[in-house]
Amino acid sequence: MNSQNDFVKVAFANEVPPRTMKHVDVNGKEISLLNIEGQFYAIDERCGHMNAPMSKGQIRYNAEKKLISCPLHYATFDIATGQKLSEPVMSGMDMSALPKNIQDYFKKAGEILSFVKTNNMQTYQVINDNNEIKVKIPTQN
Ligand code: FES
């Protein structure tokens, strides 16, 4: 059973207009606060792939799905559950104009990056308490 005492105020509602995100830091935990048509959500600020700041990404939604895409390699995650919906996009750049040693560097980096896993992300319960947005932060063990 949740009590309002379990929730920490992270922002005022007007600091996160509809269709925007705000990075908040709560007790050392980085969280992206999102507003979708007046409904607030909270998800890890750091991407489950390589820690890019998700609040710099994009929100997309329709009647069935709400997702956030990473600004760095565009992996997508379900805003409500944190589940990964699509993998990062790690290729597609035309490097033919670059010097051979630079092409080799990017090729090697790409091989190493292909082993990096993309994890689901954590989401957090959010309440709007008289225009104070509060998030429930799990206690650390
Ligand atoms: S850091 Fe987010 S998809 Fe790579």
Please give the distance, rounded to the nearest whole angstrom, from the Cα atom of residue 52 to the centre of ligand 1.
6
Domain for residue 100, yes or no? Answer: yes
Checking if the pLDDT of 36 tops 90, the result is yes
Domain for residue 12, yes or no? Answer: yes
Checking if the pLDDT of 5 tops 80, the result is no
Q: pLDDT grade, residue 58 (50/70/90)? A: very high
Measuring from atom 1 of ligand 1, which residue has the nearest CA? Answer: 50
Closest-CA residue to 49 (of 82, 88, 106, 9): 88
pLDDT of residue 117: 95
User: Are the C-beta atoms of residues 136 and 7 closer than 8 Å to each other?
Assistant: yes
User: And the tokens for 11?
Assistant: 């922002």
User: Are the C-beta atoms of residues 73 and 50 closer than 8 Å to each other?
Assistant: yes
How far is the CA of 19 from the CAs of 46, 57, 126, in angstroms? Answer: 19, 12, 16
Q: Which residues of 121-130 are buried (b: 16+ CB within 10 A; e: fewer)?
A: bebbebeeee
Domain for residue 80, yes or no? Answer: yes
Would you mind telling me the total number of residues written for the chain in this entry?
Answer: 141
pLDDT of residue 141: 58
Ligand 1: residues with CB < 6 A are 47, 49-50, 52, 70, 72-73, 75, 88
How many structural domains comprise the chain? 1
Q: Note the pTM of the prediction, 2 decimals.
A: 0.88
User: And the tokens for 138?
Assistant: 């799990």
Report, as an integer, the average pLDDT of 26-30. Answer: 90
Give the residue with greater pLDDT, 26 vs 4.
26
Report, as an integer, the average pLDDT of 29-44. Answer: 96
Q: Which atom of ligand 1 is nearest to the CA of 88?
A: 3
Q: pLDDT grade, residue 105 (50/70/90)? A: very high
Residue 85's domain spans which residues? 4-136
Checking if the pLDDT of 2 tops 70, the result is no
User: And the tokens for 26?
Assistant: 């709560």
E strand or H helix at 109: helix 100-113
> Which CATH number do you get for residue 19?
2.102.10.10
Domain for residue 141, yes or no? Answer: no
Checking if the pLDDT of 1 tops 60, the result is no
Domain for residue 27, yes or no? Answer: yes
Domain for residue 119, yes or no? Answer: yes
Domain for residue 30, yes or no? Answer: yes
Domain for residue 115, yes or no? Answer: yes
Report, as an integer, the average pLDDT of 88-95. Answer: 82
Closest-CA residue to 89 (of 79, 75, 99, 103): 75
The beta-strand segments (E) located in 1-124 are 7-12, 21-26, 29-36, 39-44, 58-61, 66-69, 76-78, 84-86, 123-124
